[in-house]
Amino acid sequence: MSANLYQDHLTTRKNQEAQAVQLLVELNTLANKGVNVLFFGNRIALNLVDIIAHHDKNALNIADTLAFATALNDQNLSHTTVDLGQALKAGKQADSFTSGDEVPATDVVLYGFGRIGRILARLLMSRPASDKGLQLKAIVVRPAGEADALLKDLEKRASLLERDSVHGWFDGSVVVDKANSGIIANGRFIKVIYASDPSEIDYTSYGIDNALIIDNTGKWKDEAGLGKHLQSKGAKKVLLTAPASGDIKNIVYNVNDDTIGSDTIVSAASCTTNAITPTLKLLNDKYGIENGHMETIHAFTNDQNLVDNHHKAERRGRAATLNMVMTSTGAAKAVSKAIPELKGKLSGSSVRVPTPNVSLAILNLNFKNPVNSSDELNAFIKEASQSEQWQAQIAYSDSDEAVSTDFVGCEKVAIWDAKSTLAQDNRAVMYLWYDNEMGYSTQVLRVAETMAKNA
């Protein structure tokens, strides 16, 4: 290796870092104006390594992005979304973007603070500080007892947010505010409310009003149960992070979120439904789905037992970390709530496996129109995954070495495994990876933002 080659790469990196520092300033200014900045559908973390990695991956020059972001700030844009990657790729000019309507600040309450609740909190706290959009004001958990027990519980809640065995350390600071019974995460105060039932809570007494309640407990799934939240003073809308029953809409963002309207109770469906529905819509629109079967190889969940013990559901009582557990899933059936023309065409089943996160959906489908080959199908999905419409939901992987842990933390709702695609004539078998925690939670927040805008 020549000394010049090493020095050339080092000099390039130094220049990238210097430009990235300037870009950070421009991006932060845009964020403060309410401009939602994306890079090929991804939110850009405000750190040097992430910015440089995004540019290297997409073979773009940071200097070009810096010039474009500076020009956007000169336009004095506000309350809009700009995908810098797509804009540069398409050769757009900064003056082609216009400001949008002001996004109202919406108080958000996480009712429950389990796996999904904490991931939602992490995602919200990873955004630049802003008094616009979704504002996480409180979490609601079960009563913990007397004063000493409450303090200990508060510390444990903060610790679980800060440390995660799957997703690692929280990206930022988490501080316990003992005096005010809350948690300060990245400079945002989150009140911890202890209650056994929504009817006990007066949110307005905590300075919270017209709030969107995100119920991630799974305790209530029908209108009668979820309606309890709307009886709380200061609550306005409810979003369930599980499939709902009855007439409550099950929403998969970018597929049927246009049907939310003024509904006060909405479901964000399940992680598996969100993982397969966008791809199923693409496939149905292109080839027409006659029928098929969906199998999910799913990470174990808190609903299962750690060791063999009694469980009301069949097989789920057996040790989750030792067994592959066959069980049921309503994901295939739930797809029809988002894509009505697929009603009755899909069956589904599930196998829970001894991994804590990242699952795999296998689609075995028969089409009306011929697919011809795996290469044709892969090319179609790859193009869709790079489009502005689908880039935020669908990722594309063609690696021979891809395994489940590669996708921990992926905010895309599904990752198409091109190396596993099997297609011939009118039939195909396709594999979709998905982080059933992070990818799903990202979709939940998109539905929440839509509900807030429809207030």
Tell how far CA 51 is from the center of its chain.
20
For 59-114, give the DSSP string: T--HHHHHHHHHHHHHTT--SEEEEHHHHHHHT--GGG----PPPPPEEEEEE--S
Catalytic (active site) residue 410: no
Inter-residue contact 365 to 427 (CB < 8 Å): yes
221 exposed, middle or buried (CB, 10 Å; 0-12, 13-18, 19+)? middle
Residue of 30, 271, 299, 346 marked catalytic = 271
Tell how far CA 164 is from the center of its chain.
17
Closest CA to 337 of 236, 266, 263: 266
Name the token pair of 368. Answer: 């009306």
Distance CA 210, CA 231 (A): 12
Question: Which are the contacts of 158, defined by CB distance < 8 A and separation ≥ 6?
Answer: 174, 175, 176, 183
Name the token pair of 130. Answer: 């802003």
Q: How far is CA 39 from CA 48, 325, 409, in A?
A: 14, 39, 17
Inter-residue contact 95 to 75 (CB < 8 Å): yes
Which residues are catalytically annotated?
271
